[in-house]
Amino acid sequence: MTRLVREHSVPALVLGDDGWVVGVRQIISPNQDARPDACPPSLIVIHAISLPPDDFGGPGVEQLFTNTLDVDVHPYFAEISHLRVSAHFFIRRDGELIQFVSTRARAWHAGVSAWKGRSRCNDFSIGIELEGCDTRPFEAAQYAQLTSLLRCLKRTFLIEDIVAHSTIAPGRKTDPGPFFEWRYVDQAMR
């Protein structure tokens, strides 16, 4: 797999002073607000999402994060259309990176959560969603983009930890799931 990630290498990313990665597609989510006391992020939370579940490539995630989910497209959408959620970043199966919230703002990705005795992880974290599920491996292009993004964030912020959504919300969340390969996170943070 390491060879495959190298084949899908992506250019180094640059984070602007405004908290937006230069040159990536931006879709601004209304599901955000100011970080309390301008608290800089020190935690990165890795998530996985697919809408409809186990289906990739459609507009469902973008619509969920912008409160425009069409409940007539899939029965599951009616169950979640009331949610007001977002993430800072979304990495599609082909490696495309989309940013929904500035890293300087608080995205609503973690929900009820705690890490190292601190609750409300949204206050001090950056959320990265990978297009995926608990039943399938992620793509090499996603790991390549994730590696580039993590290195960019590490250059800008004092990141203390990178964790799974399931780690900060045990019993409530399972993502990014058993197929996520944490060795790529370790490589990126060296």
Give me the active site residues, please. Answer: 129
Helix ranges restricted to H, 16-139: 60-65, 75-80
**CB-count exposure of residue 9 (10 Å: 0-12, 13-18, 19+):** middle
| The token pair that represents 163 in the structure block | 């964790």
Residues near 61 by beta carbon (within 8 Å), at least 6 away in sequence: 49, 50, 51, 90, 129, 131
Sheet with 25-26: list strands edge to edge. Answer: 25-26, 97-99, 89-91, 125-131, 43-49, 161-164
Q: Of 82, 81, 85, 68, give the one whose Cα is nearest residue 33.
A: 85
The region that residue 117 occupies, defined by phi over 0 for left and psi between -120 and 50 for alpha, beta otherwise, is left
